[in-house]
Amino acid sequence: METFEIIPIRVGEFLFMHKAALTYQVDFMTQMVAPVIMYLIKGKDKLVLVDTGGGDEEWAKKYHHPIRRPADEAPAAALKKIGVNVEDIELVVNTHLHWDHCFNNGLFTKAKIYVQKREMQCAVSPLPTQWTFYETHQIGMVPQWFKGYERITALEGDFNLFPGIDIVTLPGHTPGFQGVVVNTAAGRCLIASDTLGLFQNWEGIGHYKHIPSGIHYDLVEYYRTFEKMERICDYVLPGHDPLVFEHKIYPYAELTREFVSRRASAMVASSS
C-alpha cells in the first residue's frame, strides 16, 4: 500500500487563547498563542487538503477574537510556498464546520469537499453556545462554507477515500466531527484536528489518560472516540498545537526509525 507524507501549514494564529478551551478543566489560568492549521496529505499523484483555515485578521477581530495572519500565511500563499496552487487541490476534507477550519472552502474551486452529514445538520442548527463557531443565521451570519456547498459530498460514517487514506468519525468536539487516518512510513497517522487541540490532549495529565476539548457537544461520545482512536492509529496530529511546527513534514526521520524498530521487535517476538 502506498505511504503518504503530511505537511502542516500555518494559516495564522490566535493571539491569545485560554488553554482550558482546549484542555477541559485543565490549566484555567494559562494563556497561549495557538496556530490555525491546515494539513496537506501528499502522495505520488494525490493531494488531499484537510481543513481550509479561517478568516483574515479583520474578520476574526470583528466576529471572533484577534488573530495574526500575515500575507504569506493566507491559505493560497501558504500553499504556494510549498509549491502547490489552489487549483491543484482536488479533494478537501473538513474535519468539522467551525469557522476556523472551513472558512476558505470557496477558494478551492476544483475540489470535491467531504463533510459528515451529521455535521452539516448541526452547523445549520447548533446549540446556542456554538452559534458563533458555526457563524449561523441565528446571529445574522451566513457561513462561509456555503460558498463551496455545491461541491460537498455528505458522508454518513467512516469512508475509505482511497487505499491508504480513511476518513473516520470522531464525535465529541462536534456531533459530526471526522478525522483522517493516513498510511505513512511510521504507521497510521490520525489527523485528529480539534478532537485533540494539543498533543497534551492525547498524552494526558496525571490520572487523566486523555483530555477532551473544553469546547464539546457530548462527553460520553468523546470518550468513546478516544477508545476508537486508540485502536486505529499509531500517532496523532492535533488541531492547534505550536509544537506541530517543530517538524516540516510527517513522518520525520526519527519517528520513522522508531516505528521500524518497534515493528521489527514485534515480528521477532511473534516468531519466538
Q: What is the pLDDT of residues 142-183, one digit of tens each?
A: 999 999 999 999 999 999 999 999 999 999 999 999 999 999
pLDDT of 197 higher than 90: yes
Among 32, 38, 37, 36, which residue's Cα sits nearest to residue 13?
A: 36
Identify the pLDDT of residue 272.
61
Single pTM value for the model: 0.95
- The predicted pLDDT at position 258 comes to 87
> Rounded to the nearest 10 degrees, how much is the dihedral formed by the CA atoms of 13, 43, 5, 70?
-20
Burial class (CB in 10 A: 0-12, 13-18, 19+), 252: middle
d(CA 100, CA 193): 11
Annotated domain spans of the chain: 5-271
Q: What is the pLDDT of residues 49-98, one digit of tens each?
A: 999 999 999 999 999 999 999 999 999 999 999 999 999 999 999 999 99
pLDDT(10) > 70 = yes
Question: Which three-class secondary structure state does DSSP give residue 197?
Answer: coil
Beta carbons within 8 Å of 89's beta carbon, 6+ residues apart: 47, 48, 49, 79, 108, 110, 111
Q: Note whether 191 and 237 are within 8 A (CB).
A: yes
Q: In what order do the strands lie in the sheet with 165-169?
A: 159-162, 165-169, 178-184, 187-193, 235-238
Name, in order, each residue with C-beta under 8 angstroms of 219's C-beta and a sequence gap of 6 or more.
172, 212
The architecture CATH gives domain 5-271: 4-Layer Sandwich (3.60)
Q: How many helices (H) and strands (E) does the chain have?
A: 8, 12
Residue environment code for 125-142, b if the CB has 16+ CB neighbours within 10 A, otherwise e: ebeeebbbbbbbeeeeee
Instruction: Please list, in sequence order, all residues whose beta carbon lies within 8 angstroms of the beta carbon of residue 268, skipping any fewer than 6 positions away.
Output: none
Mean pLDDT of the chain: 95
Task: Let me know: does 33 contact 19? Beta carbons within 8 Å.
Answer: no
The secondary structure of residue 109, as a DSSP letter, is: T
Type of residue at 191: I
